[in-house]
């Protein structure tokens, strides 16, 4: 058995009840202790309040797990040496018996393999700034182009090249719709400054698109439901622009490249906004988790 699905999640899938996949990177790498465990429990509880089953995903001792129990969730939150795993890392982690938290790409892949159709996260990865020089693009995009899953997110991380990411998603054939908005969200911000071509306003509408995907029988690509953080909980746009500009210059001055760029920029934003960027991030994740649970319920109900 290469994939271990918890009994609760397995029973929910078998009986057609709604299930929402949750990533574990935010728990292991995105938040300080002990808040990370508190947030992990909060997000699972939010899924349950909407009548769905949470399936937090991680790899523990070389075993990909879909749905964590109390002790396993605590391990992800508190154990030292938890790696950060994209989908390319999964066979290496399994073979090495390693433990790791799953990013968007790894979570989406394992969720789809388990038969879960809806996944909630904060912000997607995408095309990095200075792409023409670095050729740096998140593995999230390619994985979502070949994985049939619905991802509820707050757009892509605002430290990225948002218009280039939207163009890349179009090229890859990944469907993108704004939820209750004609604008693409900007992760910490309600509006990235860029439009979307399609808008969905209810969980039932999202579920109908999911059914249409299956009926058409096209490529096994994802549906991205871009759900904006509420305006009253977003990071102040002026502060965001100023601090991000400072962060980009600091990153260049420090010579940070490759996989180090994103954590450097995100950490700079947290420290130089007095934690306001982290609170906006959490507000977005909470909203996405609740919406994802409602979408999963509509999907399960055959809406």
Sole residue written with tokens 């996944």: 119
Cβ atoms within 10 Å, residue 80: 4
Sole residue written with tokens 């399936």: 55
Sole residue written with tokens 């509880």: 45
Please tell me the distance from the alpha carbon of residue 43 to that of residue 155, in angstroms, as a whole number: 19
Q: Residue 84 catalytic?
A: no
Direct distance between the N- and C-terminal alpha carbons of the chain, in angstroms, rounded to an integer: 34
Please tell me the distance from the alpha carbon of residue 221 to that of residue 219, in angstroms, as a whole number: 6
Which region, left, alpha or beta, applies to residue 218 given φ > 0 means left and ψ of -120 to 50 means alpha?
A: beta
Structure tokens at 269: 């934003």
Of 23, 44, 50, 137, catalytic? 23
Burial of 32 (0-12, 13-18, 19+ CB in 10 A): exposed
Classify 174 as helix, strand or coil. Answer: coil
Sole residue written with tokens 């998603």: 169
Sole residue written with tokens 């991802």: 151
Structure tokens at 81: 């040496």
Of 71, 157, 204, 233, catalytic? 157
Q: Residue 170 catalytic?
A: no
Structure tokens at 93: 């982690």
* Active site residues per annotation: 23, 157
């Amino acid at each position: 058995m290469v994939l271990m699905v918890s009994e609760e999640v397995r029973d929910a899938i078998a009986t057609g009840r709604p299930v929402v996949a949750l990533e574990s990177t935010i728990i292991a790498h995105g938040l300080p202790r002990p808040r990370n465990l508190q947030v992990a429990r909060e997000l699972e509880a939010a899924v349950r309040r909407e009548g769905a089953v949470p399936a937090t995903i991680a790899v523990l001792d070389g075993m990909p797990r879909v749905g964590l129990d109390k002790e396993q969730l605590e391990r992800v939150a508190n154990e030292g040496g938890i790696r950060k795993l994209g989908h390319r890392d999964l066979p290496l982690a399994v073979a090495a018996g390693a433990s790791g938290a799953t990013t968007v790409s790894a979570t989406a892949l394992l969720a789809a393999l388990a038969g879960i159709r809806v996944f909630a996260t904060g912000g997607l990865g995408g095309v990095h700034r200075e792409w023409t020089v670095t050729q740096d693009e998140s593995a999230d995009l390619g994985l979502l182009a070949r994985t049939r899953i619905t991802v509820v997110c707050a757009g892509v991380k605002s430290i990225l090249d948002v218009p280039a990411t939207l163009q890349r998603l179009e090229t890859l054939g990944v469907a993108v719709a704004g939820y209750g908005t004609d604008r693409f969200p900007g992760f910490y911000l309600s509006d990235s400054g860029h439009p979307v071509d399609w808008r969905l306003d209810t969980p039932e509408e999202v579920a109908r698109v999911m059914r249409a995907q299956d009926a058409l029988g096209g490529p096994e690509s994802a549906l991205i439901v871009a759900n904006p953080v509420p305006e009253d909980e977003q990071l102040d746009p002026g502060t965001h622009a100023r601090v991000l500009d400072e962060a980009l210059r600091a990153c260049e001055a420090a010579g940070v490249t490759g996989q180090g760029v994103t954590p450097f920029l995100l950490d700079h934003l947290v420290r130089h906004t007095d934690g306001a960027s982290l609170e906006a991030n959490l507000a977005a994740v909470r909203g996405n988790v609740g919406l994802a649970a409602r979408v999963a319920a509509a999907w399960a109900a055959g809406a």
